[in-house]
Structure 1
Amino acid sequence: MIRPIKNLLTPQQVNALRQLISQGQFEDGKNTAGWHAKGVKTNLQWTANEQLTDELNQAVTLALSANPEFTALTYPKKMMPFIVSKSTDQGGYGDHIDDAIMHHEELIRTDISCTIFLSDPKDYEGGELTMTLGGIEMAYKLEAGDAIVYPSTTLHRVNPVTSGERVAVLTWIESLVSSLEKREILYDLDTARKTIMQQHGKTPEFDLITKSHANLLRRWAIT
């Protein structure tokens, strides 16, 4: 399931992250690319001292964990440290699949990829996050502060940035529910019960859907 999340970060949070990032520097993204990605990775990747890196990780982790839409979509079990990517001067990242297994302090199975946009779309040309599903391409160029989550199994690319610069924060999530289809069922049930609560309050129908949601999560979650 590909799902944009509007306003994950407030304008104040976006500005704070931009200021924090400006205290580090960017290096060639090929330095961290796998052997099959070096030929198509032409972006830049942020590097900074431990204090700045920790501040960025803490700020973005807090924003994600406080967002009910993100939680309902991902059921995060583990998450990779955040990467800041910058594309400019025809830079981007050609068609690729994210690694199935990543390693930080422990191995993480990448079920879900997440991109958080920090640049206003009017400030750069190109740079669309483009995914291919069933032979159909879908392009996303979201507002600063918006995020998008999508299955890590998806073939995707970042189109070359022809003017300006595109800055985004990336991470990968191992979900408590490894199956995409099961996560979608849980998301639909959660959306339905929240709609009932908003429109009608706590009804018997709300209780039944909540019961089904909880029992399916109990059955499907891998702790």
Structure 2
Amino acid sequence: MLSLHAVPDAFTTSECELIIARISEAPTDEALLVGRNKDHNLRKAELVWTDNVVGMEWVMERLIEIVRRSNRDRFEFDLCEFAESPQVAIYKSSNSGHFAWHSDIGGGHTSGKRKLTLVLQLSGADTYEGGNLEIMPGAQILTANRAQGCISVFPSFTLHQVTPVISGIRYSMTVWAHGPAFR
């Protein structure tokens, strides 16, 4: 069964801290905090798209290689592109940051072609409470590795959530590998 694939130590602690520092200097995307998501309490997070942050090209190069290896070794999906910029989500305890159960396949011109979801754990596991990435590939709920620098890879059609952050701030980066729509 296709489920959760972990890539421990994909990024070093200092690389994760560098990404957080660069992201902290960038404006967050407030637009996604308003409207449908906020009204339905689906997601409370601030977002930064890394294409808008100078000096982040090396991150995407690393993510592409990790997708390539993970797909070859585990999933064998028909992948052809990365049609969206990596997104850093900032989940704060001050507003119970979270993202309720959802899949990454849905409406929109790119989401229907998402095949693999990668989530890079940027925060140290001891810097926040709550905020677990949970994946439900079937009847069982799996909790992703919280180790800083670990990447979790799973099919984009898999239900997943980020539980509310109780204290601290959780930083994570998500990118999607795209291909022809599933049949």
**TM-score, scaled relative to structure 1:** 0.66
Cross-structure match for 2:104: 98
Q: CA deviation at 1:6?
A: 1.1
> For the pair shown, which has the larger CA radius of gyration, 1 or 2?
1
**What amino acid sits opposite 1:161 in the alignment?**
V
Matched, 1:112 2:116: yes
The residue identity in structure 1 corresponding to 2:116 is I
| Superimposed CA distance per residue, residues 133-190 of structure 1 (whole angstroms, 9 cap, x where no aligned partner) | 32221112421111011011111110000001100011111248968xxxxxxxxxxx
Which residue does the alignment assign to 1:127? Answer: 131
Deviations 1:74-119 (A, max 9, x none): 6642112111101112110011121346547xx8711111101100
Query: CA 1:173–1:49 in 2, change beyond 3 Å: closer, same or farther?
Result: closer
* Equivalent residue, structure 2, for 1:69: 69
User: What is the DSSP-based 3-state SS (H/G/I as helix, E as strand, rest coil) of the residue aligned with 1:55?
Assistant: coil
RMSD of the TM alignment (CA)?
Answer: 3.0
* Structure 1 residue matching 2:28: 3-state secondary structure: strand
Structure ranking higher in helix proportion: 1
One-letter amino acid matched to 1:115: V
- Picking from 39, 42, 51, the partner of 1:40 is 42
Relative distance call for 1:161 and 1:178 in structure 2 (3 A) is: same
Change in 2 beyond 3 A, CA 1:142/1:154: same
SS in structure 2 of the partner of residue 111 of structure 1: strand
Q: How many residues align?
A: 174
The answer as to whether partners of 1:78 and 1:108 remain within 8 angstroms in 2 is no
Question: For structure 2, which runs of at least 5 residues remain unmatched after alignment?
Answer: none
Pair 1:11 & 2:13 matched: yes
**Would you say the 8 A contact 1:25–1:47 is kept in 2?**
no
**Which one-letter code corresponds to 1:63 in the other structure?**
R
Length-normalised TM-score, structure 2: 0.79
Give me the whole-angstrom Cα distance separating, in 2, the residues matched to 1:127 and 1:70: 24
Q: Deviations over 1:183-207 (max 9, x none)?
A: xxxxxxxxxxxxxxxxxxxxxxxxx
Larger RCO (CA within 8 A; separation ≥ 6): 2
1:148 matched residue in structure 2: 152
CA contact (8 A) 1:97 1:155 kept: yes
